[in-house]
Amino acid sequence: MQPGLSTHVFFQHRLHPGLLDALAAAGARTIEVFAARHHFDYTDTLAVRELAAWFRSNDVRAVLHQPIYITDRGRALRGGDPDQWSRHVAPNLDLIAPEKSHRIEAMDEVKRALESAEQVPFAAAVLSLGLNHSPWDEHAIERSITAIEHLKAFASPLGVQLLLENMENEVTTPEHLLYILRAGHFDSVGVCLDLGHLHLAQPVEGAPRDSGVGAAIELLGKRIAHVHIHDNHGPFAPHTDMKDEHLWPGDGNMDWPAVCASLAALPAATPGILEAESDRDEAPESVTRKAEQAFRILAELASAPAAPNM
């Protein structure tokens, strides 16, 4: 896989060129910019220009991750304060919310973020349909198709491809994402396969060693344009309240040799984007070293002979 990094690793900080330099220094060929106003304020003209200038000066591919929070400078997040962000604030932007006003609000916020592609050369944007535990039903299908149609019409003239991410809900399982893409005839919309979310979706007993990666790749095939890489301790880890932990590979309990063996079925140019978290006080140089080590280990596992089936 082609090495990539998400600015999610610096999510508690305002994004600036020095942090992007740290990601590029690790060998990232793709950088995913997480759209959150406390981190990358896509409504701030100067912040957008600063980001655009960095990408124009560096041979690194740019990808946008949609906002997951609704926030204004003049009002607090639901459950938090935009200027005092905490990783414990739950996402609240829902493109397929039951309430029409919430869907409109979410759509407008994502479009504001996409507008930054007028200056920043974003090649793709990762979309999340629903919140954790959003149910799969006829309403979810209809609202998902409507959201994709609307945002695709907005993103396409900007040269941005939409990528749907599998989340911790019924709507975005690999099977249901494929259903939505086929039902909407979205041939140009891709998938961002999130390995950590896939791991959390596995049954406690009888889960495949590769966390379902092989089955997802077989199902979605060429629609997979990106892969989100991070680790966790599974769906019922007793020692943590944050199930989606966004750990560095190897710090959770995913079977990375098995995962990498399954990932080998993807084209070598597919960006594998590390989407880990770091402590607020961790130095950028430390993140660079951790990312370099992760890239090295993943490359070694990818080139290792496949283990025999048991």
Domain count, the chain: 1
**Residue 283: domain span:** 2-303
pLDDT class for 303, splitting at 50, 70, 90? confident
Residue 225 falls inside a structural domain: yes
Characterise 211 by phi-psi region: left (phi > 0), alpha (psi -120 to 50), beta (else): left
The per-residue pLDDT for range 80-104, each reduced to its tens digit, is 444 444 555 678 999 999 999 999 9
Dump pLDDT digits (tens) for 260-278.
999 999 999 999 999 999 9
* CATH number reported for the structural domain that contains residue 154 in this entry: 3.20.20.150
Residue 309, domain member (yes or no)? no
How much is the pLDDT for 70?
A: 86
The CB-side HSE value for 145 (13 A sphere, CA atoms) comes to 16
Is 308 inside a domain boundary? no
> What's the whole-model pTM score?
0.92
Tell me what the mean pLDDT of segment 155-159 comes to.
98
Residue 79 pLDDT > 70, yes or no?
A: no
For residue 264, being part of any structural domain is answered with: yes
